[in-house]
């Protein structure tokens, strides 16, 4: 392989990561959602860990934790069908500026990207998102149901925040030195 071809391959490494990570997350998320959608009735719950974790079929018409679920259906539909493509464009723009060897940031952005597409597929197909991971504690405390795509988004954002914190901490250390 000549130097030009090798340089092109290296430059595309981050996009290969994006395709691999987001592709895996989208597939995994959609397979489980389709299983829940076709094998559970709405509201049906299966206990995985007694008094702690169930698989429960929930339809989320809003965003995280039901945000905007009670808003006017026309507004909600327009909002949830237009925002994800904008967010995906922003992620791709940010990724473009990321160094090819910044694997942690590439993984974080790819996770957010894959999670956003996973939930967007639901919105396009059903006009709601299928949630199924239901954590609770003896019926006294309950976390809103969520899905694999939500975990990917939250995990990616969490990793980005951690990386930003560490970068700022390193800059502060350099200034003090």
Among 76, 51, 176, 64, which Cα is nearest to 119's? 64
Tell me the HSE value of 139 on the side-chain side, using a 13 A CA sphere.
Answer: 1
**Residues ≥6 apart with Cβ < 8 Å to 108:** 155, 156, 157, 159, 160, 163
Axis crossing angle, helix 103-126 with helix 73-97, rounded to the nearest 10? 160
Active-site residue numbers?
131, 150
Distance CA 21, CA 92 (A): 14
**Long-range pairs of 89-94 with CB within 8 A, sequence gap ≥ 24:** 91/116
């Amino acid at each position: 392989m000549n130097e030009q071809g090798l340089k092109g391959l290296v430059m595309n490494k981050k996009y290969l990561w994006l395709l691999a990570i987001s592709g895996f997350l989208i597939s995994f998320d959609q397979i489980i959602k389709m299983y829940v959608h076709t094998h559970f009735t709405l509201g049906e719950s299966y206990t995985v860990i007694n008094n702690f974790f169930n698989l429960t079929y929930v339809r989320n018409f809003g965003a995280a934790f039901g945000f905007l679920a009670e808003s006017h259906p026309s507004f909600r539909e327009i909002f949830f069908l237009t925002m994800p493509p904008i967010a995906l464009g922003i992620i791709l723009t940010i990724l473009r500026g990321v160094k090819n060897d910044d694997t942690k940031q590439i993984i974080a952005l790819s996770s957010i990207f894959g999670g956003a597409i996973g939930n967007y597929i639901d919105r396009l197909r059903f006009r709601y998102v299928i949630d199924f991971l239901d954590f609770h504690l003896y019926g006294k405390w309950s976390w809103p149901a969520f899905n694999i795509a939500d975990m990917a988004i939250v995990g990616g954002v969490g990793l980005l925040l951690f990386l930003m914190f560490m970068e700022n901490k390193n800059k502060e250390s350099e200034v003090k030195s």
